Amino acid sequence: MSQVRSLRLCSFEEREVVRVVKITIDGKEVTASPESTILEAATKAGFRIPTLCHLKGINEVGACRVCVVEIEGVEKLVTACNTTVRDGMSVLTASPRVREARRTVVELLLSEHDCNCPTCPRNGKCDLQSLAEKLGVRTQKYHSSTPQGEPDTSSPSLVKDPRKCILCYRCVSVCDRVQSMGIWTITGAGGHTQVVPEGGAPLAHTACTYCGQCVVSCPVGALSEKDDRDAAWELLNFRNHGKRIVTQVAPAVRASWGEALGLPRSVATPGRLVAALKHIGFDLVFDTCFAADVTVMEEAAELLRRAGLVEGQRSHGGLNARRMPMFTSCCPAWVRFLGAEYPEFLPCLSSAKSPQQMFGALAKTYWAQSIGIGAGDIKVLSLMPCTAKKYEASLDVMNSSGFRDVDVTLTTREISSLIMEEGVRVENLPEMDFDAPLGLASGAGVIFGSTGGVMEAALRTAYYLATGKNPPVDAFRVVRGTGGRREAQFDVAGKTLRVAVVHGLGNARTLLEDIKAKRVAYDFVEVMACPGGCAGGGGQPYAQGFEYNPEARARAQTLYGIDDKAPVRFAHENPAVIELYDKFLKTPGGELSEKLLHTDHRLWGIQARSRRVMAAAAT
């Protein structure tokens, strides 16, 4: 026993002493952590090693073999992404042998790739296209005769094109390891290997949440959002038929829309986005943050009713009257996840619609009445950081005015494309304000775009509704952060509210399992399907490189910066919201609010996954 303890002690001491290793990369001596891969060590030292499949900590399988390097004294080339450094190692990242191997890999990938690049959604933003250019690959040297299949356009949100898939397995790993859904599976072998939805079914017939994290992780155009740009132009043509064409801009879009245009955030301001949208042809540009403020009013009132802090049992006809914890319902991918994986928790969802849908309902009722036109004479286009919003807007139950709440939904990527298509020189545009009244928002509405933002905004107003006075504006900022799950307790009118914030569906699954096992108990839970919340949404601009979701934090900081400087920080102090309730809705959770701004999630038609799997097996 003493020998074993001695050996363990020695091993521990050695690890403490050997904190770095010295390696040579292309003749330059560098130091690295002994746990580093060659790719990590080289990147840190300023060397660029290309890769198409690698996502740090998520997909480290070396599938693409583009990152091969040469190690002196080793016969075969090795993949840099999953080969650990050793002390004294000498690495060549760009030797003739390495360059030739990479060219061959890219040529073979192109042999089975649909190279009709001008019509590809990733044209100009494709990692494979960029790598082929850098390696000097100008022609298709090889051609494959393997059938590749046709695009799957069954989903209202996403498109899968197998003709462009390079079998990097990023989508498989992200869906499995980050989102815990396992929608994408690998079938076949050799030249017949494919990535397909579960059971080989069309995507619309699976439990896919349409979160789009597979899309932003895909290095090529094999996965993309459903392209609604033509629908947007058709909508704008209705101006010639006496219709009012309005658009709403989601909170997170203002922090990211300029990225695809190569603009710094100092230039790509919300004001210039408004100007660009009016240049394209929208009559009025409104702000989804206004609807987020309304969502806060409805959600906060519902929380207080469920928690017994105010009188009343209503929650969309009493459906969810006292079910706790109350889950936020702003994220349609989260709602789909809950309905498919944990349908027993559906009554815990707030019955409040998302800000996108609330906006559409109010634009076609409240605002339509205020300007004296009918709901059918207004067309609403949404600009969202989310692919699942396309699905949400398409639901038959989202028609409170008798017409569809939202007519067309575009992602951040699509609106940036529209701006480029129109040839708008954004940097030359003057800044313009969002239009009143549906463009007036508080800072609370803006932070909806970041994980923890909905929770913080709702608690600010819940405190006021329960006590009649405002809390310190930063009283609830502890729920901010990047941790997968954050927990806190707050005293509201003498009652302790236990809250939790999670982002990423893998974290949501863990939380739900903990609730089921009674390991934890909460009163209010915010869930966002995408890591980082809407700031890291599946409709946000593509980021090249092997870091997963690298821009989400910077986008969130932009939103919090807007909140910090906002003249109004509480949703209930937004003068446009006050006027809305005074003149139209009367009270949060009232009869008209229930009709226009709430939904029964059981009517979304989400099929529980267990029944779906059994049905698939039966066929």
pLDDT digits (tens, 9 = 90+) for 64-115: 999 999 999 999 999 999 999 999 999 999 999 999 999 999 999 999 999 9
179-196 mean pLDDT: 93
68-82, 458-472, 508-522, 601-615: least confidently modelled range: 601-615
d(CA 525, CA 365): 31
Same fold, 133-225 and 229-604: no
Instruction: Supply 139's token pair.
Output: 């022609």
pLDDT of 322: 60
Angle at 50 between CA 48 and CA 56, to 5 degrees: 95
At residue 384, the 3 state secondary structure works out as: strand
d(CA 368, CA 374): 6
pLDDT of 35: 93
pLDDT of 321: 55
Say whether pLDDT at 3 is over 50.
Answer: no
477-506 mean pLDDT: 96
Say whether pLDDT at 253 is over 90.
Answer: yes
Do β-strands 68-71 and 78-79 pair in parallel, antiparallel, or remain unpaired? antiparallel
Give the per-residue SS3 of 283-317. CEEEEHHHHHHHHHHHHHHHHHHHCCCCCCCCCCC
pLDDT digits (tens, 9 = 90+) for 344-380: 999 999 999 999 999 999 999 999 999 999 999 999 9
pLDDT of 438: 97
**Among 546, 550, 583, 587, residue whose Cα is nearest residue 52:** 546
Backbone angles phi, psi at 138, to 5 degrees: -110, -20
408-417 mean pLDDT: 97
d(CA 584, CA 586): 6
Give the per-residue SS3 of 11-71. HHHHHHHCCCEEEEECCEEEEECCCCEHHHHHHHCCCCCCCCCCECCCECCCCCCCCEEEE
For 229-604, the fitting CATH number among 3.40.720.10, 3.90.800.10, 3.40.50.720, 3.40.50.1780 is: 3.40.50.1780
Say whether pLDDT at 1 is over 60.
Answer: no
pLDDT digits (tens, 9 = 90+) for 518-547: 999 999 999 999 999 999 999 999 987 667
Strand order in the sheet with 326-327: 326-327, 524-528, 495-503, 485-492
Percent of the chain's residues with pLDDT above 70: 93
Angle at 360 between CA 325 and CA 293, to 5 degrees: 50
Instruction: Supply 28's token pair.
Output: 């330059």
The neighbour count for residue 240, using CB atoms within 10 Å, is 7
Owner of token pair 């899968």: 160
Looking at residue 451, its amino acid is T
Instruction: Supply 93's token pair.
Output: 């990242």
Tell me the pLDDT of the chain averaged across its residues.
Answer: 92
At residue 195, the 3 state secondary structure works out as: strand
Backbone angles phi, psi at 412, to 5 degrees: -55, -40
pLDDT of 11: 36
pLDDT digits (tens, 9 = 90+) for 279-329: 999 999 999 999 999 999 999 999 999 999 887 644 454 545 568 899 999
CATH T-level fold of 133-225: Alpha-Beta Plaits (3.30.70)
**Among 254, 294, 260, residue whose Cα is nearest residue 277:** 254
At residue 83, the 3 state secondary structure works out as: coil
Task: Output b/e per residue, 91-129; b: 16+ Cβ within 10 A.
Answer: bbbeeeebeebbbebbbebbebbbeebeebbbeebbbbb
Looking at residue 591, its amino acid is E
At residue 187, the 3 state secondary structure works out as: strand
pLDDT of 36: 94
Instruction: Supply 440's token pair.
Output: 């007036």
Number of H helices, E strands in the chain: 21, 17
The radius of gyration of the chain's CA atoms, rounded to the nearest angstrom, is 26
The answer to whether 222 and 109 have CB atoms below 8 angstroms apart is no
The answer to whether 474 and 570 have CB atoms below 8 angstroms apart is no
Residue 23, strand partner residues: 30
Instruction: Supply 278's token pair.
Output: 């009016």
What spatial distance separates the first Cα and last Cα of the chain, rounded to whole Å?
A: 60
Say whether pLDDT at 192 is over 90.
Answer: no
414-431 mean pLDDT: 95
499-511 mean pLDDT: 98
pLDDT of 613: 47
The answer to whether 451 and 532 have CB atoms below 8 angstroms apart is yes
Say whether pLDDT at 614 is over 50.
Answer: no
d(CA 531, CA 544): 17
Strand order in the sheet with 90-92: 28-32, 21-25, 90-92, 68-71, 78-79
Say whether pLDDT at 277 is over 70.
Answer: yes
The neighbour count for residue 525, using CB atoms within 10 Å, is 24
Taken in order 395, 397, 400, 402, the sign of the CA dihedral is positive
d(CA 211, CA 201): 18
The answer to whether 353 and 406 have CB atoms below 8 angstroms apart is no
Owner of token pair 């079938």: 187
Owner of token pair 């292309």: 26
Backbone angles phi, psi at 442, to 5 degrees: -95, 170
Say whether pLDDT at 12 is over 60.
Answer: no
Say whether pLDDT at 615 is over 90.
Answer: no
Percent of the chain's residues with pLDDT above 90: 86
pLDDT of 19: 83
What residue segments make up the domains of the chain, in order of their start?
Answer: 133-225, 229-604
